[in-house]
Amino acid sequence: MGRKHNLTGQRVAVLAADGVEQVELVAPRSAVADAGASTALLSLEPGEIQAMNHDVEKGDTFPVDRVVGECSPDEFDALLLPGGTTNPDKLRQDPDAVRFVRDFFATGKPVGVICHGPWTLVEADVVRGRTLTSYPSVRTDIRNAGGNVVDAEVVTDHGLVSSRNPDDLPAFCAKIVEEFAEGKHPVHPEGATAPR
């Protein structure tokens, strides 16, 4: 990975709901925590969320730290959106989750998203003009929302880090730590991030 990136003092929001793909929740969260960040699992309601393995087999449950409707992007330095098919489908139907993602993007702070996670980004209308990757079944939705889709294990576009599936996790985890360490990107008044 080259030089070690330090996230000490950073607060990372992990936004997920029932149906999250367990490895896509656990591996990135561990990567940023290992680099020194504190993480908070945000979800739609208090209690626990049910993770899944390969979308169909129940995995572990994870305690929710905060309800997303009670959170502000100002409280966090970076955002993680894991995949799994039903997780982003639940998030994109929740006005508070969609608002949080839209408002978070407007800050210019870094975001990591993997697999089916971009469905929530599409709903929040934050992929327009951005280049990213995703699970193949989400790509048409990204294109229809004005995004540019590429097929690569990890793609970075002005603080937005994206990957396709769990096989990409080593590259994804290394890149989110690097981007989260880099921090905020310039923001245009209309909310789109400026080129570096």
3-state secondary structure 59-126: EEEEECCEEHHHCCHHHCCEEEECCCCHHHHHHCCCHHHHHHHHHHHHCCCCEEEECCCHHHHHHCCC
pLDDT class of 190 with cuts at 50, 70, 90: very low
**Other CB atoms within 10 A of residue 178 CB:** 17
Catalytic residue chosen out of the listed positions 115, 158, 173, 185: 115
pLDDT at residue 184, rounded to an integer:
81
Mean pLDDT to the nearest integer, 148-176: 97
**Length of the chain as a residue count:** 196
pLDDT tens-digit map of 25-76: 999 999 999 999 999 999 999 999 999 999 999 999 999 999 999 999 999 9
Tokens at 68, concatenated: 């997303």
* 33 backbone φψ class: left, alpha, beta (φ>0; ψ -120 to 50): alpha
Catalytic residue among 54, 71, 116, 173: 116
The 3-class secondary structure across 30-55, one letter per residue, is: HHHHHCCCEEEEEECCCCEEEEEECC
Rounded mean pLDDT of 162-181? 97
Domains assigned to the chain: 11-183 (3.40.50.880)
pTM of this structure? 0.93
116 is an active site residue = yes
